[in-house]
Amino acid sequence: MIEGRITRNDLDWWLAFAAMREWTFAKTYAETAPHHYVVQNRTPGVTHDDIVRAARVIHAFGRPGKYYSLTKIYLVSPDGQYRWWTEDRHFTDATLVNRATTELNYGIQNAPSTTSGIETPYDEVATTWDVEHPGKTGEADRVRRILAKVHGKYPPHVLDLGCGTGRVLDLGLVGPERYAAIDFSQAMLNMLVRKHPKVAAVYPMDVRNALATGRFTQGQFDWVFLDDAVELDALQRAQVEQIARLAVIIINGDEWTVHDVSDVSVQGTIALAADTRTAP
C-alpha cells in the first residue's frame, strides 16, 4: 500500500484478507443485530495496521447505509453476501471490523447515494484528504465576515459544486439541512457523509453534466460554492451565476472570492484574499 493512498490493490488485499480470518460472533447483539467481527491483536493474524487499512478501504469503496437513525459507510462483498463497517471516529482509532450478512436491514434505508460510477484521482486520497489539507486558523471567521455582506434575510440554501469532503460544512458556513453537494468522487462524498450524515442532498456526478442536464433552476440557491479546480467554460460559469440568487463563491486553495449576483446590473466582486486578518 502506498502511504496516503487507497487503491484497488488495497481493496483486493482486503477481500482476500477477510476471507482468511476467523470471525468472532458478537453474542451481545445476537438478538438485536447479529454480526461477526475481527479485532486487532486478538484475532489471529490481525494487527492495528491491518484494521486501519481495512477501515480506509471500506470508506473509500463503500457507500452509505442506515442503521436505524445512524448513517454508516458499508462495503459490500463482490458476491453480495456480506457487508463490512467500522465504528471509529478517526481511522487511526479503529480497533475492529464488523461483518454482517446483507439479508437484514435495520430501519428505513434512506441514506444518500454516493455512487457516481466514475473513477477519479481523488478516490485514492479521500481518506487522508482532511488530515493533509487542514484549514487555517481563523478561516471560518474570515469567510463568515465576507459572506455577511451577501447574507440575505434568512439562513442561506447552498449548492456546493466540487464539494470534496465537505469543507463548507466543516467550517460551519451553512447547516447540513440547507446544503446540497455535487462531486464525482464516491470516496470523497463518503467522507462528507461520514462527517455530516444529515446532509440534505448529495449528487454523485460530474459538475458539468449536472449543469448540462438543467438539474437546477434559476435562483434556486442563495449561495453557490464552486471549487476553482472544476474546469468550466464561460457558458457554464454563467449557468452557475443564474443558479445563485445572492452570490457565487469561488474557492481556490485558501482564497475565497465572492461574486455578488443579487443585482445583475451591478456585478460586485469581493475577494477574501484581500482580508489578511487572522484570528489570534
> Which whole-number Å values give the CA distances from 21 to 36, 47, 53, 206, in the listed order?
11, 12, 15, 38
Q: Per residue of the chain (280 residues), give pLDDT as tens.
A: 445 799 999 999 999 999 999 999 999 999 999 999 999 999 999 999 999 999 999 999 999 999 999 999 999 999 999 999 999 999 999 999 999 999 999 999 999 999 999 999 999 999 999 999 998 889 999 999 989 888 887 899 999 999 999 999 999 999 999 999 999 999 999 999 999 999 999 999 999 999 999 899 999 999 999 999 999 999 999 999 999 999 999 999 989 999 999 875 334 444 444 443 333 3
The grid coordinates listed for 212 are: 448540462
Q: State whether CATH 3.30.70.260 applies to domain 123-274.
A: no
Answering whether pTM is above 0.85, one says yes
Residue with cell 484528504: 129
The answer to whether 186 touches 201, Cβ cutoff 8 Å, is: no
**Residue 276, SS3 per DSSP:** coil
pLDDT, position 3: 58
Sign of the CA dihedral running 179, 184, 190, 195: negative
Domain locations in the chain as residue ranges: 8-101, 123-274
The answer to whether 176 touches 198, Cβ cutoff 8 Å, is: yes
The grid coordinates listed for 29 are: 447483539
pLDDT, position 4: 74
| First-to-last C-alpha distance (Å) of the chain | 40
